[in-house]
Structure 1
Amino acid sequence: MVLEKYYFHPTTLLLGLVSLCAISLLVLLYRHRSQFTGNNLPPGNVGYPVIGETYEFLSWGQKGYPEKFVSDRVNMHSSQVFKTSLIGEKTIFFCGTACNKFLFSNENKLVRFWFPSSFKKIFPSCNKTSAGEESNKMKTMLTNFLKLNALQRYFGIINQSTQSHFADCWENRNEVHALELAKSHTFKLAARLFVSLEDQADIEKLSKPFFLVNAGTISLPIDFPGTPLNKAIKAANLIRKDLCKMVKQRKVDLAEGNASPTQDMLSHMLLYCDDDGTYLKEFDIADKILGLLLAGFDTVSAALTFIVKYLGELPHIYDAVYKEQMEIVNSKAIGESLKWEDLQRMKYSWNVAQEVLRMTPPVQGNFREALTDFIFNGFTIPKGWKLYWSANFTHKSADCFPEPEKFDPSRFEGNGPAPYTYIPFGGGPRMCPGNEYTRVVILVFMHHLVKRFQWEKIFPSEKTIVVALPTPAKGLPIRLFHHHKSP
């Protein structure tokens, strides 16, 4: 009978547990929000602990309007600088031309490049140095490999690979999925240029896990079985294992004279050394090649896909591109190949491509980290906070581009857009070093595409969603109409 006084009714226990959980959640919420209070911080909402406003940020992309997350908050707070919580980080969005100029002009002064923790888990070599140091090292290596005279050396490979792609994958077909073929082409080309991989079976084996890697790069930093990050880490480990074998073999081939120092990015990395004479380790090279293959095919494939989309939707734009490209074709002898010099004659085609990149930038934006406390637009920006610039917001701003939803290649005639308004490749010292590579691949693709085909979209109102990259929801199936059989 003594025990009776310690007995609690189940309902009482349940209410007690619920109350305890509610109190714990309130405490957690208070602690979360208290991190975002301080003197003169920008306005903004910070969402829930850990998640913050990540769900809202991603969901607007999945709805097809990635710029809405930013524009809604800019309008709500009447400020182009606002605070939020994104992928578990205290984040401040910098929106618009003045913000872009400030961030790009203060690289390594007030701000530096920053990798999300999910990215660091997928690419472990990033953890050995700061994001800024790692980024600068990669930029130096890439700039040397992708500068114009180097690209000119590889132009024949790019042109031949593109010709083969259309001959093998587009000819003799009435319907194709443009997204799938663009990914196949750009990955095969990147594998050829970066690691001299040409065997189709090896290329397919290497390409399959890449989609999982990309999905995990901007996911929540939650590494549990089944999460996008966990799947990405496992996929990256599989790819890296194969790349490490290639690195070891290439070292042997270079030592024995069976490989050329200039044949691809892999040879370039093996022979690259820092100012102090330090060479990259095999694992680090494999990790960096993994990142380059990811960047070299995914962003470029998105650009090619939306070039197909807009040319299919806008007959007058297609006709003008076709006219320009056929002038190049008709100026050549029978069987004569496209030349490097021909790219300079594709001015209108490149204006069209730039307008595609404005309308649908493959990279939505990127992060920086505040190196010190500073003041911007009257707000205090604390040291250590993450800063995010948005290409989508700037590109869809009527202040930067009148009638922003109108497809208008003439925006790029003459001097083109004002500085810091057109930023598909970023800007300042951190501008993407692959911008010239992207231009060459796009123009060669457009040349071989329009001289062979016209096409129409099978789903005229197909939705565009943004997960990691902009993507047609159904893969952009198109119906082909052949001009003639091209060699």
Structure 2
Amino acid sequence: MDLTNCFIFFLLLTSLYFALTRKTPPKKHPPGSMGFPLIGQTLSFLHAMRTNSIEQWLLQRTSKYGPVSKLSLFGTPTVFVHGQSANKFIFTCDGNVLGNHQPPSFKRICGERNMTALIGDDHKRVRGALVSFLKPEMLKQYVGKMDEEVRNHVEMHWHGNQKVMVMPLMKTLTFNMMSSLIFGIGKGETRNNLIELLQHMMNGLMSLPINLPFTRFNRSLKASAQLRAFIKNLISERKAALEQRVADTRKDLIACLLGIGKTEPSIRMSDEEIVDNVISVMIAGYDTSSVLITFLVRLLGMDRSVYDKIVQEQEKIAKTKTSELLSWDDLAKMKYTWRVAMETLRMNPPLLGSLRKVLKDFEYEGYTIPKGWQVIRAANMTHMDERIFSDPSKFDPARFEKQASIPPYCFVAFGGGARICPGNEFARIETLVTIHYLVTRFKWKLCCLDNSFSRNPFPVFNDGMLIEIEPKDC
């Protein structure tokens, strides 16, 4: 081999060596800190939630690191994002990239098969089954039953009292409605025992998953086990009744889900999935609606002009309704009341945001987000963005006169896109029926103008939201 060929061969070997040994440039992760091992920012995050300083906590992160930052929550590397583009990405992202995700404490208490923890085809199947019960066509037939629950509640807990604590009463009311429509259980000792179990269970949803005696998480697990045993017994009873044809699949949620399994095999749910998702629906219906109604009562006690407009609308409906009970058509006339509710949700969303699990590496805003991390969004930061909602701190129901004028993925109190909350119509009915009977039967004023609250993870008023009530002459 001559010198020229040797030199060419040497160059080829050298090039091959550098090509094989050259290091891949490190992937660029979002700015931020992971904090202490395992704990990360979990304790400061939970403290901010429980002291209602989470907005300031998130704003500090944004001002320090920008709109995309990394941190560690519940032992998992996390990316925090917010804004319209972030919401759109999360709600429309391929199910192979981002999947539903909940903190370990939530999954262990509510079960691995609840809709908020499922991904891909399983999520679509379970969601489809739940939507079959929660769609408007089905809910129309339950308006009268919810009307009766509200009137019974008002008669029992409001009439004859000078002062009432709104938040615990609204939780009782929404639970009673859920109990009736999910379980088919009327008032009595069983309901009382169930609401106590649910409250104990929910106390640990956002806790450190340390299962030691006397911890919040331990108490929640015990309550969850008892509630699950109760639901399993109900499933067995409904199955027997349906087989003997002495029960209607429209009786309640459990009967509906069992019936769907026979008529639509593609969305059939196992008993375990029914248990897990009944618990999830209970939590969503119990807390989100009660929080919204409590905030509305607070608003109407503080803003006389809004109160007067709602009273005018509701009294007109009360005079013109065609039966003793409210109907679906009556609810459709409550346009101003629902705009007020939507603006309340914009300013005080019951749920801060949501978590998604990263199923494979992806690029976002120039950063690599690795598989195994989680993504968290914050609805309140989009809702209070002055680039989207002018003068966002001002309460203005007129924003929702033409909801189409609000850019997509900017109002996300119920989620967005294909992932919009399947229970949003149920929440609308609960809220409108309740407000109708409160404003047509009572006047009220707040006993304390402070009315501060914490999040656990839903807002909890520190004094229960005490008000002084005065019955109207009917």
* Aligned partner (choices 107, 120, 123) of residue 110 of structure 2: 123
TM-score w.r.t. structure 2 length?
0.90
Q: Give the equivalent residue in structure 1 for 2:97.
A: 110
Quickly say closer, same or farther: Cα 1:354–1:129, change in 2 above 3 A.
Answer: closer
Q: Give the equivalent residue in structure 1 for 2:447.
A: 458
- 1:303 maps to amino acid: L
Paired with 1:447 and 1:254, the residues of 2 have a C-alpha distance of 36
User: 1:107 touches 1:429 (CA, 8 Å); kept in 2?
Assistant: no
Match status 1:434 vs 2:433: no
> How far apart are residue 146 of structure 1 and its match?
0.8
Match status 1:159 vs 2:147: yes
2:201 counterpart SS class: helix
Paired with 1:404 and 1:59, the residues of 2 have a C-alpha distance of 26
> How far apart are residue 294 of structure 1 and its match?
1.7
Quickly say closer, same or farther: Cα 1:180–1:119, change in 2 above 3 A.
Answer: same
* Aligned partner (choices 71, 86, 99) of residue 99 of structure 1: 86
Quickly say closer, same or farther: Cα 1:338–1:52, change in 2 above 3 A.
Answer: same
Match status 1:478 vs 2:467: yes
> How far apart are residue 127 of structure 1 and its match?
8.8
Paired with 1:412 and 1:93, the residues of 2 have a C-alpha distance of 28
- Greater alpha carbon shift after TM alignment, 271-280 vs 43-52: 271-280
Alignment of 1:167-246 (within 5 A): 167-246=155-234
Match status 1:286 vs 2:275: yes
Paired with 2:242 and 2:39, the residues of 1 have a C-alpha distance of 48
2:247 counterpart SS class: coil
1:384 counterpart SS class: coil
Q: Cα deviation per residue 1:11-33 (whole Å; 9 max; x = unaligned)?
A: xxxxxxxxxxxxxxxxxxxxxxx
Match status 1:327 vs 2:329: no
Paired with 1:428 and 1:279, the residues of 2 have a C-alpha distance of 24
* Aligned partner (choices 306, 314, 324) of residue 336 of structure 1: 324
- Greater alpha carbon shift after TM alignment, 133-142 vs 471-480: 133-142
- 1:251 maps to amino acid: K
* Aligned partner (choices 375, 378, 381) of residue 366 of structure 2: 378
Match status 1:40 vs 2:17: no
> How far apart are residue 38 of structure 1 and its match?
5.7
* Aligned partner (choices 260, 268, 273) of residue 272 of structure 1: 260
User: 1:368 touches 1:386 (CA, 8 Å); kept in 2?
Assistant: yes
Paired with 1:480 and 1:188, the residues of 2 have a C-alpha distance of 22
Match status 1:303 vs 2:292: yes
User: 1:67 touches 1:396 (CA, 8 Å); kept in 2?
Assistant: no
- 2:78 maps to amino acid: T
Alignment of 1:347-362 (within 5 A): 347-362=335-350
1:460 counterpart SS class: coil
Paired with 1:443 and 1:220, the residues of 2 have a C-alpha distance of 36
> How far apart are residue 47 of structure 1 and its match?
1.8
Paired with 1:61 and 1:404, the residues of 2 have a C-alpha distance of 21
Paired with 1:460 and 1:453, the residues of 2 have a C-alpha distance of 19
Paired with 2:178 and 2:389, the residues of 1 have a C-alpha distance of 33
Paired with 1:152 and 1:127, the residues of 2 have a C-alpha distance of 26
Paired with 1:116 and 1:61, the residues of 2 have a C-alpha distance of 15
Paired with 1:353 and 1:277, the residues of 2 have a C-alpha distance of 36
Paired with 2:117 and 2:204, the residues of 1 have a C-alpha distance of 21
Give unmatched runs, 5+ long, in structure 1.
Answer: 1-36
Alignment of 1:64-75 (within 5 A): 64-75=52-63
Paired with 2:94 and 2:452, the residues of 1 have a C-alpha distance of 36
User: 1:183 touches 1:298 (CA, 8 Å); kept in 2?
Assistant: yes
> How far apart are residue 402 of structure 1 and its match?
2.2
1:273 counterpart SS class: helix
> How far apart are residue 55 of structure 1 and its match?
1.7
2:119 counterpart SS class: helix
Quickly say closer, same or farther: Cα 1:412–1:319, change in 2 above 3 A.
Answer: same
Quickly say closer, same or farther: Cα 1:217–1:135, change in 2 above 3 A.
Answer: farther
> How far apart are residue 291 of structure 1 and its match?
2.1
Q: Cα deviation per residue 1:219-266 (whole Å; 9 max; x = unaligned)?
A: 222222222222111110011111222111111111122211111101
Quickly say closer, same or farther: Cα 1:129–1:327, change in 2 above 3 A.
Answer: closer
Q: Cα deviation per residue 1:105-144 (whole Å; 9 max; x = unaligned)?
A: 1141431211322222113342999721553333111111
- 2:42 maps to amino acid: T
- Greater alpha carbon shift after TM alignment, 227-236 vs 412-421: 412-421
Q: Give the equivalent residue in structure 2 for 1:444.
A: 433
| Count of residue pairs brought into register by the alignment | 447
- 1:122 maps to amino acid: I
- 1:367 maps to amino acid: L
User: 1:80 touches 1:95 (CA, 8 Å); kept in 2?
Assistant: yes
> How far apart are residue 283 of structure 1 and its match?
4.0
- Greater alpha carbon shift after TM alignment, 161-170 vs 145-154: 161-170
User: 2:346 touches 2:411 (CA, 8 Å); kept in 1?
Assistant: yes
* Aligned partner (choices 31, 56, 70) of residue 83 of structure 1: 70
Paired with 1:98 and 1:125, the residues of 2 have a C-alpha distance of 30
Quickly say closer, same or farther: Cα 1:99–1:278, change in 2 above 3 A.
Answer: closer
User: 2:176 touches 2:187 (CA, 8 Å); kept in 1?
Assistant: no
- 2:256 maps to amino acid: H
- 2:326 maps to amino acid: L
